[in-house]
Structure 1
Amino acid sequence: MALVAVLAVLALVITLIVVLAGEPTARGRCTITAPPDSPGLPATWSLTPEQADSAATIVGVGRRLGVPDRAVTVAVATAIQESGLVNLRYGDRDSLGLFQQRPSQGWGTPEEILDPVTSTTMFYEGLLQVPGWATMDITVAAQAVQRSGFPEAYADHEPEARLIAVSLLGQAPASWTCTDLPATPATDPSENDVATLAARELGTARLSGEQPTETGWAIATWLVAHAERLALESVTYDGRTWTVASGAWTSSGPADGRLSLQRLGRP
């Protein structure tokens, strides 16, 4: 049992080294670019598509719950430290998932913890119950929820967590790009998969038509971050389009506040 625990910790450390380096090694890459004049934020940050998918879930659930932006940053920083934004099926002792929550500590069943939407919801619920969390340093707020053995490490990830949150909350238009994603769908998801995921994470299945600016960019960025999972060919908002072929946002029409998406292999 001791050997198993050591191996699990070593695997977790290797995962964290990848995200701390900010240089994904897997095929595909998502890059976030900070808005001009953004003190305290890294100019750019890179993630693997898997990490991008996890980040989109964490921020999307925060939007559905209506939590403050600060709570989103705390959640993202915590998940970077705990799992490297990877939904791990192992960890120290019985720790699991994005936040390395433990069934033995009352976080739920392994199945619940390994569901990113459920585990993220539980983290936010725990954070919001901490008196004064909004005025605490990230390390203190995260530790009040997590009870980690390395509480000082959460603050190390505040800059990239804030950048991820700013982009996925729609506060930095066209700041999130993903390149080198598969040009053909890895699976054949049903027509309802996009809407189903949006309803679970964002609390809405309306992913087309006119949207307020910040909401529109939040949904558009969420879609790009989930692009590999959802087999998306393109996402358009307010006259700019991201495509899986180019991996970039380009001007494609008038700034009309309208949102649309196209699936790979769909007419």
Structure 2
Amino acid sequence: MNQARGRRGARLGATVSVVVVLLVIGAVVITGIVAALRWGDAHIASGRCSAGGHWLEADQTANAALIVGTTLRRDLPARAGTIGIATAMQESRMRPIDYGDRDSLGMFQQRPSQGWGTPEQVQDPVYATETFFDHLVRVPDYTELEVTVAAQAVQRSAFPDAYAQHEDLARAFASALTGWSPAALTCDLDPVSHQDEEATESVAQEAATLLARDLGLEGQVTADLLRVDATSLPGADGDAGRAAWAVAAWAVATAPVTAVGTVQVADRAWHRGEEGWQEVPGEPVPAGTVRIGA
């Protein structure tokens, strides 16, 4: 009888030990997930953005702004932006992922073993985007080709027809981000509370840094406001109105990263936490100018 009780006690003790271990492991996993989510929140806000009836998550939209911004800075046609977005959507859902087929990595799934760069380089969205367009512009008459054909000429994918499924979305976002479709791109983002003047100024500074990286433009930061003269944007072909809308769309698309809260262009304004572009009474913003603030 005592031996039976001892065996039951031993089994009970073993069961309790297993449960405790599982609870500890679960707590560690949950802590890791929460930490990862907090890390992500610290770098990019959640939310969704739309253009022409198509939707992207906030982080995807910021990467679309980088892709199209690169085409504008390099004075490439809007078609290049469509090809770039469609390619990145198919390859990685337009995210700089750290895995892929064989040694493929990054937003465009470029392979270090095939001379695309180091693993660190191809996972850098800026490097990956520049390298993609370095190859695309070498494709003869790429602007006249179908998106799938142009993308495949660069990527050499095992599924060349798959790029077509993203063409409509890519065209809608590229059109908005190049200024051809004014007020077409908007983001649904939660409002941001800036605690003091220094915090609001840092938002304008962050936007100015990203503006130079993506579009190659220098803005003027005054207190909490970034003023941008968009007329020198190479890809706008001297069209001040289109250039301003391209910069304005870019500012909204990158707001999840910069924490920008308001964008003004012409007689319209986008405010974080509100729906779409609102008409602003009074004097419009001067042609070719964009105001970006916290």
TM-score, normalised to structure 1's length?
Answer: 0.79
Is the Cα contact below 8 Å between 2:91 and 2:109 reproduced in 1?
A: yes
Counterpart for residue 75 of structure 1 = 84
For residues 131 and 79 of structure 2, the distance between their equivalents in structure 1, rounded to whole angstroms, comes to 16
74, 93, 97: which one aligns with 2:102:
93
Report the CA distance shift for 1:142/1:56 in structure 2 as closer, same or farther (over 3 A): same
CA distance in 1, matches of 2:94, 2:84: 11
- How does 1:214-225 map onto structure 2 within 5 Å? 214-225=242-253
Distance change (3 Å), C-alpha of 1:234 and 1:191: closer
Using a 3 Å threshold, how does the CA distance of structure 1 residues 143 and 238 change in structure 2: closer, same or farther?
same
Structure 1: runs of 5+ lacking an equivalent:
1-25, 34-43
Q: Is structure 2 residue 204 aligned with structure 1 residue 194?
A: no
Partner of 1:242: 270
Check if 1:31 corresponds to 2:62: no
Give the superposition deviation at 1:192. Answer: 3.1
What amino acid does structure 1 have at the position aligned with 2:126?
Answer: V
- CA gap of 1:104–1:247, structure 2 versus 1, over 3 A, is farther
Once superposed, what is the RMSD of the aligned Cα atoms?
1.9
Change in Cα spacing, 1:104 to 1:209, as seen in structure 2 (3 Å) is closer
C-alpha separation in 2, matches of 1:31 and 1:209: 24
- State the partner residue of 2:28: none
In the comparison of the two structures, how many residue pairs are matched? 226
1:223 alignment partner AA: A
- Distance, in Å, in 2 between the alignment partners of 1:210 and 1:252 is 20
Deviation at 1:72, TM superposition (A): 1.4
The superposition leaves residues 94-151 of structure 1 with CA deviations (integer Å, 9 ceiling, x where unpaired) of 2111111111111111222122111111111101112232222211111110011101
1:60 aligned partner: 69
CA distance in 2, matches of 1:128, 1:64: 14
Corresponding letter in the other structure for 2:51: I
Q: Secondary structure of 1:174's match?
A: coil
- Aligned match for 2:241, one of 189, 209, 213: 213
- Structure of greater Rg: 2
- Displaced runs of 4 or more, over 6 A: none
User: Any stretches of 5+ residues in structure 2 without a counterpart?
Assistant: 1-44, 220-225, 231-239
Residues 261 and 272 in structure 2, CA contact (< 8 A), matched pair in contact too: yes
* Matched letter for residue 292 of structure 2: L
CA distance in 1, matches of 2:69, 2:228: 19
In the alignment, the residues of structure 2 paired with residue 72 and residue 51 of structure 1 have an alpha-carbon distance, to the nearest angstrom, of: 14
Q: Which residue of 2 aligns with 1:178?
A: 187
Q: Which has the higher helix share?
A: 2
- Once the two structures are superposed, the pairs formed by residues 123-142 of structure 1 within 5 Å of their partners are 123-142=132-151
2:228 and 2:83 map into 1 onto residues whose CA distance is 32
Residue of structure 2 equivalent to 1:230 = 258
2:132 and 2:107 map into 1 onto residues whose CA distance is 10
Is the counterpart of residue 145 in structure 1 residue 148 in structure 2? no
Indicate yes or no: 2:291 matched with 1:260.
Answer: yes
Distance 1:235 1:102, change over 3 A: same
Normalised by the length of structure 2, the TM-score is 0.72
Contact 1:78 1:99 in 2 (8 A): yes
